[in-house]
Structure 1
């Protein structure tokens, strides 16, 4: 998988990096860890340049998160909560998650946005409550871009400097990617099972 992503990034160029990062932040088909490590690897082979690919990656990340932020801002907490109560189980989100995220953002604001960009499972979801609590757009854009730039630069440099050891790295990165995907799919399936069981119990008690 790693080599396939690296070849894909190299053939699509900077627009491909941008598009993959937009998709990763809208609905992650491929983790950013793999995308950026592969992009860094392509840069080490001379197929891309580090600075433009980082600009494209940060721009794609920001574009994907702006979509979630604006959706959250349009909905607001009052309109979003009934949707979570009804459909949240399909997206592994519950009302308690909304409360925690909005509370975190109200308390820590820019710091939460910046460091949240480096945490898997948080970096995309945090954009919705950021919009709901109406963090100013300038603050959201700035701190999302800064946090993303730090994390994506680290990932790209890792791929860049590991280029000489590609044969050894690819041997475990590829299988590891499938393991991560399998865990994510299995975790989501388990979540659905428990969510529907809880909903059934609530209906029975009501």
Structure 2
């Protein structure tokens, strides 16, 4: 290194500071905004509770959609499970169609042991094996809807966590003459 020229002056900002060799300069604090939740955590929380991570990211409409689908699917799965249990419980049951009638009196014949009218014809159960199978399929479909809602909510939360600071708006516009797609991007 060559000696400084006579016309050169020492930096006035550092004039009174003697630089210490081997000591690191302090780094500025990181001012980059952090997401409210990591993508992994967002996926897992919305996988367990559909719509939860969406509320953290301020996507209340999406959260409400996932919650409504979840509640509706659970209600319908419960009803389908009850229908399946009813069908399984009554496969060989029958209903009395008519009772034996005494031709002399025109009244139903009463059994002397039980005191009840004596059945004449029966209607077979409406719960055949095919109907039980259909009810089981119906129940499984609602369980699949619940699982799909959990997975889709988790995937949506994962994407929302990765794009949490991207302020873009995309939509569809319909006019009497045409339809179009618009996109807007807000820069700060």
TM-score bucket (shorter structure): under 0.3
TM-score by length of 2: 0.27
> Which of the pair is proportionally richer in helix?
1
Of structures 1 and 2, the one scoring higher in RCO (CA 8 A, sep 6+) is 1
> Which of the pair is proportionally richer in strand?
2
Structure (1 or 2) with the larger CA radius of gyration? 2
